[in-house]
Amino acid sequence: MDVNSGGASAVELPESISSVIPGWFSEISPMWPGEAHSLKVEKILFQGKSDYQNVLVFQSASYGKVLVLDGVIQLTERDECAYQEMITHLPLCSIPNPKKVLVIGGGDGGVLREVSRHSSIEKIDICEIDKMVVDVSKQFFPHVAVGYDDPRVTLHIGDGKI
């Protein structure tokens, strides 16, 4: 797949691109009946369909670049660190001298980035089902995906289920 070309095949805009207000992305969820989270889209940077999901990256007016999978916001440049730090450091700091870490999912690499800050960690394995998420994250969110550059990291593309 050539990430630069926008994926293997052209895809239609996801349903979450609002038809009510052109130029806005709206995340709509049954968890929030009658509500939507909307961001102004300045430019669509990537859209593709992997074997698993629709992948969208856009430049927003207020949150920087945004990664969306199947219409659900996964991260934004503006606030991704809050999620990545909490999901990583709280569990790791509850274990004396952790040595090995397995990350299931997390293809954007943000958790890897945070795990790699712990000097006691000797081995980090990540299992991500969707290679497109990894590739897109490395291209559009290199400050997040920097975790893949750590020599302790081994990436496994596949299903993390046992």
| Residues 32-81: tens digit of each pLDDT | 888 988 999 999 999 999 999 999 999 998 999 999 999 999 999 998 88
pTM score, two decimals? 0.84
Q: Are residues 108 and 42 in the same domain?
A: no
* pLDDT at res. 20: 52
For 22, residues 6+ apart whose C-beta sits below 8 A from its C-beta are: none
CB atoms within 10 A of CB 96: 6
Nearest in space to 73 (alpha carbons), one of 37, 48, 43, 42 = 37
- CATH code for the domain in which residue 16 is found: 2.30.140.10
CA 133 – CA 128 distance, rounded (Å):
8
Q: Which helix (H) or strand (E) holds 124?
A: strand 123-128
133 with 119, same domain: the answer is yes
